[in-house]
């Protein structure tokens, strides 16, 4: 087996797709530090299943994806594919070439493939297990692995020998067996705990089961007598109810007569009461009229007296207000005469003040001191502007000098680059001519293209076939799963006793030996009754316990069976002899049959053997089946609730109108439905088995087709690989020339870009110089303007100083006159404001007095108009006398009506008392009748709910010869017996059977677990023995070769490896001691760094002697060796290269010289690794 190639894409620094092909012998990989050499080793370890990001020099697994550089963006996927030549089938696989691929996406999705087929990580681990090529094997020595050998603890070093001995699978199997052993021990503990718990329960449950059996026997006798008691009591209640019904009818007639008489008296009373109310309303109205007229008369007389007094007062007030108004008007005229002169004086003073203010304003505008200050400020501002302009001129001059220097430098640089660009362009033209003259192998390219298309087509066919196979396999597994589930359900139902769920007595009689003894037993109603699935729930609901009744041929058989049960205390049953059971039928169902929801008589919907027709009609002939509860309610109501009705969903309407219904949360298999379900499941098993067989045959055919497609795909891939190799060899020189051309183009482009940048800088500097000269001229002009302005400001300042003194004297005289005039104006304005306020107050008083006088005048007019005349008073008195007479007549008529009402009310009260007495008697009879009806319904409901009997009349006919008192006495005796038994656990019977069965099962499970534990211990011992044998044999062989090779590698001396605990080969560690030439024998930890490294390498060569591996990957393993030891190391590698393929990452010249093929790793682009190959053997042949 050989390592053929490694393909890397997006893994760490290998951003571009890189193919590394490995030849037989030794392949060296060289390159500067940080170029990505070790990434190749890590790619090999990663693709072979490495899961530790830390061992790959990362913090998380996504760190292996190319993370980008300054010029390249990060990638979203890393992919590595490694190809092995397995023509010798070193790896246990049918393929002669194995290609393992691993992909990782930044989303976290990971893909593993073996020869293009998606696989699991475990598949890859299993592929390389115990081959010496695993990700942790000694065939891949990463940086630091050599140091880890001599720095490791002795116990850790044993892993090296174990890997060589090929015991990894035994260790895995042992760990699996130990886990199973632990689980088995846990299961044993749990089973032992459960058995211990159940052992304490069996004996008490056995006692409780026997007690419960006795209780059920007594309870059955009690139930028989209780049914008789209920039937006799119902009959007695029916007789008493009929008697009460006759009395109730007579009493109803008496109540009707009394109600009619009372109604006549009540009508007369209503009439008289209406008349009385009418007269009372009339009298009340007249009384109100009298009261109103009396009040009006009194108001008229009082108003005449009051109006005369108010008129006098109002006339006096009007005169007083008139006089006050005249006085106020006189004061207003006096104030107006004072205000007029003051207003004239105020106007003159304001005019004089305005004139003086204008003069002062002129003086202010002409203030010379302020003018002088302004001129001084302007001079200072002019001086600062002049200084700034001088500074700007100096700065512009300096900038111009600097720009001239830069422009000269840029011109010189431009000339140099132009000359270089001319030379580089010539080199690029030469490279273009070489590429153009190179003739590629077009025919080979066409062959590769055709082969790629063929591979893609076959790959698509293979993917489609694999997908179809996987889907067919999934469908097959699903069918098998469904088949197992159905079989489990079928087995669970068939595993049950045929009479599981039946009463104890029924199970006892249905045993084969008992049925052989009593040949007249036909069977249980449930198994003899055939019910369509649609009616199963309805029939189960209405029959209930009847389904467990036993059908026999005749009464004598029934007696014999009962005697057997009594003798053996085997339980109780209800027996239906064919020769005595009579059919029961419902009559008058014509209307019901026509109603919506009516399905039929229950007996007509099921079948039984012909000889049992009477029994079928007896138990179901009086039952009607309806579609739903609404339909059942309507049918029952239309037929006066005289028979039972059951709906398809199991709701019941009993005779008499009571209803039973509802549903439980979970409905399990019932007596009737179990057989139907078993038949259904049997058919399902047959169908699923046929479907599974068909799918399996289809799956086998698809698998054969897939294998054929895969073989053709592998063949096409092999052809494509060979063609690709030919094309790559032919086009290698073209690729090199194209790379050189691309590099030269980049140099030319860089020079052109730099020249364009220099031209841009040159233009910008020229523009900047021109702009600087223009600004300099402008600043010079501004400098001259500032000098002229400064001279003018100086002359103006001298003139302003001379005029300032004469203006100040005139301004002081005008200011004095202005202040005096302002004081006078303020005095006049104040006096005028006071007089105007007084005038406003007097005008307000005058307006108020005018309003008051108008109000008084209006009141006087209204008072004079309100005084009533004498004629109005006389008319009111006459009207009052007339109404008083009418009121007296109405009161007399009301007295007569009241007397008549008293007589009628007395008669009404007597008749009411009579009606109450007869209604009370009627009510008593009705209550008695209702009580008897309720008692009857309760007894019927009790009979039906407790014993599932709806025909109480039929039961009474069977028990007519019994006496109620005798039955009651017997019930008391049995009740006392039940009380003596006390509380029992009815469930103990079935619980005891279940617990006993579980105890037996768990005991068997315990025995099986103990047997499994012994087998696991034996297996572990056998694996430990095999591991010890392999470990010891491999260790001895490695130790022998280690000592010999050490002497060869060191040129003398000796070394050995030994076990730290030879007595315990499963846990012993390994010590390494060495004696280099000229030194004493010592532990490996005391050796020098180079000696340690060479000793570890010696151990590697010893392992290769014992367990040769197809290839070994070394990452700077000889870094710590001197030149002499490097030469020995390289020669030894060369000796082994005939059997083992070496891939060596190295910096050492001696190692490179012995390599057959060198790969160089470079980073032409920062952060991106590239590969360059050199075949040293071919070079040597060419040189020779």
| Structural domains in the chain, sorted by start | 2-139+1110-1183 (3.40.50.300)
Taking residues 848-856, what's their average pLDDT? 69
Residue given tokens 């008589």 in the structure block: 601
| pLDDT tens digits along 163-210 | 777 776 677 777 777 787 787 777 677 667 667 767 777 777 777 787
Min mean pLDDT across 527-536, 598-607, 834-843, 1134-1143 is at: 834-843
Give residue 291's pLDDT band: very low, low, confident or very high (50, 70, 90). Answer: confident
148 annotated to bind ligand: no
3-state secondary structure at position 939: helix
**pLDDT at 760 > cutoff 70:** yes
Asked if residue 950 lies in contact with residue 655, where contact means CB atoms within 8 angstroms, the answer is yes
Which stretch of DSSP H or E encloses residue 949? none
Question: What are the phi and psi torsion angles at 1141 (to 5°)?
Answer: -90, 125
Taking residues 23-51, what's their average pLDDT? 87
Give me the pLDDT at residue 79, please: 94
**pLDDT at 1111 > cutoff 50:** yes
- Other Cβ atoms closer than 10 A to 1013: 16
What pTM, to 2 d.p., does this model score? Answer: 0.38
Give residue 576's pLDDT band: very low, low, confident or very high (50, 70, 90). Answer: very high
Give residue 754's pLDDT band: very low, low, confident or very high (50, 70, 90). Answer: confident
**pLDDT at 551 > cutoff 90:** yes
% of the chain surpassing 90 pLDDT: 4
Supply the mean pLDDT for the chain: 77
Q: Of 253-262, 481-490, 525-534, give the range with the top mean pLDDT.
A: 525-534
Q: Of 362-371, 655-664, 932-941, give the range with the top mean pLDDT.
A: 655-664
Give me the pLDDT at residue 7, please: 93
Give me the pLDDT at residue 10, please: 92
Give dist(CA 205, CA 986) in Å, integer. 11
| pLDDT tens digits along 602-613 | 889 999 998 999
User: What tokens does 88 get?
Assistant: 């010798």
179 annotated to bind ligand: no
32 annotated to bind ligand: yes
**pLDDT at 776 > cutoff 50:** yes
User: What tokens does 945 get?
Assistant: 């709910």
Taking residues 11-22, what's their average pLDDT? 89
Give dist(CA 613, CA 619) in Å, integer. 10
Output 865 or 878, whichever has higher pLDDT: 878
Give the distance, in angstroms, between the CA of residue 118 and the centroid of all CA atoms in the same chain: 31
Min mean pLDDT across 232-241, 727-736, 754-763 is at: 727-736
801 annotated to bind ligand: no
Which CA distances in Å does 783 have to 145, 385, 389, 393, 674?
Answer: 83, 9, 6, 9, 122
**pLDDT at 324 > cutoff 80:** no
Give residue 87's pLDDT band: very low, low, confident or very high (50, 70, 90). Answer: confident
> Buried b / exposed e across 916-939, counting CB within 10 Å, b at 16+?
eebbebbeebeebbeebbeebbeb
Min mean pLDDT across 106-115, 230-239, 862-871 is at: 862-871
Give residue 552's pLDDT band: very low, low, confident or very high (50, 70, 90). Answer: very high
Give residue 99's pLDDT band: very low, low, confident or very high (50, 70, 90). Answer: very high
34 annotated to bind ligand: yes
Q: Show the CA angle centred on residue 192, arms to residues 186 and 193, nearest 5°.
A: 90
Give dist(CA 1146, CA 1142) in Å, integer. 12
- Other Cβ atoms closer than 10 A to 943: 22
Q: What is the dihedral of CA 390, 395, 401, 407, to 10 degrees?
A: -140
Helix-strand-coil split of the chain, %, nearest 5:
70, 10, 20
1125 annotated to bind ligand: no
- Other Cβ atoms closer than 10 A to 279: 18
Give me the pLDDT at residue 312, please: 64
Taking residues 441-464, what's their average pLDDT? 80
* Order of strands across the sheet that contains 2-9: 18-21, 2-9, 77-85, 97-105, 110-114, 117-119
Q: Give DSSP secondary structure letters for 345-399.
A: HHHHHHHHHHHHHHHHHHHHHT-HHHHHHHHHHHHHHHHHHHHHHHHHHHHHHHH
- Name residues whose C-beta falls within 8 Å of residue 394's C-beta, 6 or more positions apart in sequence: none
Using a CB cutoff of 8 Å and minimum separation of 24, what contacts does 1149-1154 make?
1150/1123, 1150/1126, 1151/28, 1151/1118, 1151/1126, 1152/28, 1152/30, 1154/26, 1154/1130
Min mean pLDDT across 58-67, 93-102, 183-192, 417-426 is at: 183-192
Give residue 101's pLDDT band: very low, low, confident or very high (50, 70, 90). Answer: very high
Question: What are the phi and psi torsion angles at 522 (to 5°)?
Answer: -85, -30
Min mean pLDDT across 330-344, 367-381, 758-772, 1147-1161 is at: 367-381
**pLDDT at 1182 > cutoff 50:** no
Output 267 or 1169, whichever has higher pLDDT: 1169
830 annotated to bind ligand: no
Q: Which of 1082, 1080, 1076 is nearest to 1098 (CA)?
A: 1076
Which stretch of DSSP H or E encloses residue 97? strand 97-105
| Most distant CA pair in the chain, distance | 171
Give me the pLDDT at residue 203, please: 76
Give me the pLDDT at residue 11, please: 92
Q: Of 9-23, 195-209, 580-594, 729-743, give the range with the top mean pLDDT.
A: 9-23
Output 116 or 498, whichever has higher pLDDT: 116
**pLDDT at 1002 > cutoff 70:** no
User: What tokens does 386 get?
Assistant: 């002049």
Asked if residue 1120 lies in contact with residue 1151, where contact means CB atoms within 8 angstroms, the answer is no
3-state secondary structure at position 343: helix
Give residue 1184's pLDDT band: very low, low, confident or very high (50, 70, 90). Answer: very low
- Other Cβ atoms closer than 10 A to 206: 14
Q: Which of 1130, 1131, 1132, 1134 is nearest to 1148 (CA)?
A: 1130
| pLDDT tens digits along 463-473 | 888 788 778 76
Give the distance, in angstroms, between the CA of residue 391 and the centroid of all CA atoms in the same chain: 75
**Cα distance between the two ends of the chain:** 32
Taking residues 480-498, what's their average pLDDT? 64
**pLDDT at 511 > cutoff 70:** yes
| pLDDT tens digits along 334-384 | 767 766 776 776 677 677 767 767 766 665 554 555 666 676 677 777 767
Min mean pLDDT across 31-45, 514-528, 736-750, 810-824 is at: 810-824
Q: Give DSSP secondary structure letters for 413-472.
A: HHHHHHHHHHHHHHHHHHHHHHHHH----HHHHHHHHHHHHHHHHHHHHHHHHHHHHHHH
Asked if residue 758 lies in contact with residue 410, where contact means CB atoms within 8 angstroms, the answer is yes
Give me the pLDDT at residue 666, please: 47
Taking residues 1058-1068, what's their average pLDDT? 85
Give residue 812's pLDDT band: very low, low, confident or very high (50, 70, 90). Answer: low
Give dist(CA 912, CA 923) in Å, integer. 16
Taking residues 78-95, what's their average pLDDT? 85
Q: Give DSSP secondary structure letters for 232-243.
A: HHHHHHHHHHHH
For the packed helices 536-543 and 613-620, what is the interaxial angle rounded to 10 degrees?
Answer: 80
Give me the pLDDT at residue 82, please: 92
Output 1077 or 348, whichever has higher pLDDT: 1077
**pLDDT at 930 > cutoff 50:** yes
Which stretch of DSSP H or E encloses residue 1075? strand 1070-1075
Which CA distances in Å does 798 have to 376, 803, 810?
Answer: 10, 10, 22
Radius of gyration of the chain (CA): 64
Q: Of 158-167, 471-480, 986-995, 1022-1031, give the range with the top mean pLDDT.
A: 1022-1031
Quote the DSSP letter at residue 65.
Answer: B
Min mean pLDDT across 73-82, 303-312, 717-726, 883-892 is at: 303-312
Taking residues 932-949, what's their average pLDDT? 75
Give dist(CA 1063, CA 163) in Å, integer. 21
33 annotated to bind ligand: yes
**pLDDT at 695 > cutoff 90:** no
**pLDDT at 1075 > cutoff 90:** no
Q: Of 49-53, 133-137, 371-375, 498-502, give the range with the top mean pLDDT.
A: 49-53
Q: Which residue(s) pair with 140 in the sheet?
A: 1113
**pLDDT at 1047 > cutoff 80:** yes
Q: Which residue(s) pair with 117 in the sheet?
A: 114
Give dist(CA 182, CA 179) in Å, integer. 5
Give dist(CA 186, CA 176) in Å, integer. 15
**pLDDT at 523 > cutoff 50:** yes
Give dist(CA 858, CA 862) in Å, integer. 6
**pLDDT at 568 > cutoff 60:** yes
Min mean pLDDT across 329-338, 725-734, 958-967 is at: 725-734
Give dist(CA 934, CA 862) in Å, integer. 88
Give dist(CA 576, CA 549) in Å, integer. 7
- Other Cβ atoms closer than 10 A to 309: 10
Taking residues 208-232, what's their average pLDDT? 79
**pLDDT at 125 > cutoff 70:** yes
Min mean pLDDT across 147-156, 315-324, 419-428, 1141-1150 is at: 315-324
Question: What are the phi and psi torsion angles at 962 (to 5°)?
Answer: -85, 155
């Amino acid at each position: 087996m050989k390592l053929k190639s490694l393909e890397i894409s997006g893994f760490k620094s290998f951003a571009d797709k890189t193919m590394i092909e490995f030849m037989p012998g030794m392949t060296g990989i060289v390159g500067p530090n940080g170029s990505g050499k070790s990434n190749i080793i890590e790619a090999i370890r990663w693709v072979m299943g490495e899961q530790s990001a830390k061992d790959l020099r990362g913090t998380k697994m996504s760190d292996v994806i190319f993370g980008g550089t300054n010029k390249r963006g990060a990638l979203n996927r890393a992919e590595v594919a490694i190809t092995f030549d397995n023509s010798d089938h070193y790896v246990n696989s049918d393929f002669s070439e194995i290609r393992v691929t691993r992909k990782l996406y930044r989303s976290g999705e990971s893909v593993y493939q073996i020869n293009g087929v998606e696989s699991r990580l475990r598949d890859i681990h299993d592929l390389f297990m115990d081959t010496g090529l695993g990700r942790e094997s000694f065939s891949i020595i990463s940086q630091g692995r050599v140091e880890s050998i001599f720095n490791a603890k002795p116990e850790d070093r044993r892993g090296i020998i174990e890997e060589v001995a090929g015991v990894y699978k035994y260790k895995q199997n042992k760990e699996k067996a130990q886990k199973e052993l632990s689980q088995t021990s846990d299961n044993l503990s749990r089973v032992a705990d459960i058995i211990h718990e159940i052992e304490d329960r069996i004996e008490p449950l056995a006692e409780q089961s026997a007690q419960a059996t006795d209780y059920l026997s007594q309870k059955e006798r009690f139930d028989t007598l209780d049914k008789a008691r209920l039937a006799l009591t119902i009959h007695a209640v029916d007789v008493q109810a009929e008697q009460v019904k006759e009395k109730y009818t007579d009493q109803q007639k008496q109540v009707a007569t009394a109600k009619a008489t009372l109604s006549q008296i009540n009508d007369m009373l209503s009439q008289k009461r209406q008349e009385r109310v009418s007269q009372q309303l009339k009298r009340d109205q007249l009384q109100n009229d009298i009261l109103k007229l009396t009040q009006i008369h009194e108001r008229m007389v009082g108003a005449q007296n009051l109006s005369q007094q108010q008129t006098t007062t109002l006339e006096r007030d009007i005169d007083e207000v008139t006089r006050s108004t005249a006085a106020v008007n006189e004061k207003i005229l006096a104030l107006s005469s004072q205000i007029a002169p003051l207003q004239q004086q105020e106007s003159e003073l304001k005019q004089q003040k305005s004139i003086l203010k204008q003069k002062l304003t002129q003086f202010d505008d002409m203030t010379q001191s302020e003018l002088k200050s302004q001129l001084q400020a302007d001079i200072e501002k002019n001086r600062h502007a002049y200084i700034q302009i001088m500074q700007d001129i100096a700065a512009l001059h300096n900038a111009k000098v600097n720009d001239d220097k830069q422009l000269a430098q840029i011109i010189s640089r431009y000339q140099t680059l132009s000359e270089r660009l001319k030379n580089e362009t010539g080199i690029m033209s030469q490279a273009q001519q070489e590429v153009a003259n190179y003739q590629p192998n077009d025919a080979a390219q066409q062959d590769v293209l055709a082969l790629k298309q063929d591979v893609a087509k076959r790959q698509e066919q293979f993917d489609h076939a694999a997908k179809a196979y996987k889907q067919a396999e999934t469908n097959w597994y699903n069918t098998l799963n469904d088949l197992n589930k159905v079989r489990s359900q079928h087995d669970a139902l068939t595993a049950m006793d045929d009479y599981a769920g039946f009463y104890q007595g029924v199970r006892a009689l249905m045993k084969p030996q008992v049925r052989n003894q009593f040949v007249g037993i036909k069977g249980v109603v449930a198994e003899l009754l055939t019910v369509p699935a649609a009616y199963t729930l309805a029939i189960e609901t209405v029959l209930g316990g009847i389904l467990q009744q036993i059908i026999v041929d005749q009464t004598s058989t029934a007696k014999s069976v009962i005697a057997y049960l009594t003798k053996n205390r085997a339980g109780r049953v209800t027996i239906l002899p064919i020769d005595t059971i009579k059919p029961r039928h419902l009559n008058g169902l014509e209307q019901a049959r026509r109603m919506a929801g009516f399905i039929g008589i229950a007996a007509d919907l099921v079948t039984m053997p012909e000889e049992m027709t009477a029994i079928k009609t007896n138990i179901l002939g009086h039952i009607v089946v309806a579609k739903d509860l609404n339909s059942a309610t309507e049918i029952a109501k239309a037929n006066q609730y005289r028979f039972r009705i059951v709906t398809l969903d199991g709701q019941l309407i009993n005779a008499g109108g009571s209803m039973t219904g509802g549903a439980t949360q979970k409905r399990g298999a019932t007596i009737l439905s179990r057989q139907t379900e078993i038949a259904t499941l049997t058919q399902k098993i047959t169908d699923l088995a046929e479907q599974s067989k068909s799918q399996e045959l289809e799956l086998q055919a698809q698998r054969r087709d897939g294998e054929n497609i895969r073989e053709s795909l592998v063949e096409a891939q092999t052809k494509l690989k060979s063609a690709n190799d030919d094309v790559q060899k032919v086009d290698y020189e073209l690729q090199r020339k194209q790379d050189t051309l691309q590099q030269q183009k980049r140099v030319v482009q860089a020079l052109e870009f730099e020249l364009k940048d220099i031209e841009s800088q040159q233009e910008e500097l020229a523009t900047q110089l021109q702009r600087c000269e223009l600004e300099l001229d402008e600043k010079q002009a501004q400098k001259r303007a500032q000098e002229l302005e400064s001279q003018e400001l100086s002359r103006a300042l001298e003139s302003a100083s001379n005029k300032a003194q004469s203006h100040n004297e005139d301004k002081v005289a005008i200011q004095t006159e202005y202040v005096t005039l302002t004081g006078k104006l303020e005095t006049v304005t104040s006096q005028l404001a006071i007089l105007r306020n007084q005038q406003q107050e007097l005008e307000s008083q005058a307006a108020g007095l005018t309003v008051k006088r108008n109000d008084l005048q209006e009141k006087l007019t209204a008072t004079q108009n309100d005084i009533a005349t004498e004629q109005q008073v006389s008319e009111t008195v006459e009207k009052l006398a007339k109404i008083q007479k009418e009121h007296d007549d109405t009161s007399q008529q009301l007295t007569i009506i009241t007397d008549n009402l008293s007589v009628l009310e007395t008669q009404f009260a007597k008749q009411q008392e009579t009606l109450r007495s007869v209604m009370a008697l009627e009510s008593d009879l009705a209550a008695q009748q209702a009580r008897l009806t309720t008692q009857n319904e309760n007894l019927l409901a009790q009979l039906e709910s407790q014993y599932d009997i709806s025909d109480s009349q039929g039961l009474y006919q069977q028990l007519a010869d019994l006496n109620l008192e005798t039955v009651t006495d017997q019930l008391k005796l049995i009740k006392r017996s039940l009380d003596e038994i006390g509380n029992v656990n009815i469930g103990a019977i079935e619980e005891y059977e279940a617990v006993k069965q579980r105890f037996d099962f768990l005991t068997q499970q315990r025995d099986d677990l103990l047997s499994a534990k012994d087998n696991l211990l034996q297996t572990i011992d056998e694996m430990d023995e095999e591991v010890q044998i392999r470990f010891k044999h491999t260790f001895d062989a490695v130790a022998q070769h280690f000592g010999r090779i050490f002497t060869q590698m060191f040129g003398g001396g000796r070394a050995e490896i030994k076990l730290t605990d030879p007595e315990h080969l499963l846990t012993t560690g390994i010590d390494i001691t060495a004696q280099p030439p000229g030194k004493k024998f010592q532990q490996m930890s005391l050796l020098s760094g180079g000696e340690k490294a060479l000793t570890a390498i010696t151990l590697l060569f010893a392992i290769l002697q014992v367990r040769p591996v197809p290839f070994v990957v070394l990452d700077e393993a000889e870094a710590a060796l001197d030149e002499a030891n490097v030469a020995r190391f390289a020669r030894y590698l060369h000796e082994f290269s005939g059997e083992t393929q070496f891939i060596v990452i190295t910096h050492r010249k001696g190692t490179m010289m012995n390599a057959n093929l060198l790969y160089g790793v470079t980073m032409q682009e920062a952060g991106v690794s590239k590969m360059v190959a050199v075949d040293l053997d071919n070079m040597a042949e060419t040189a020779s």
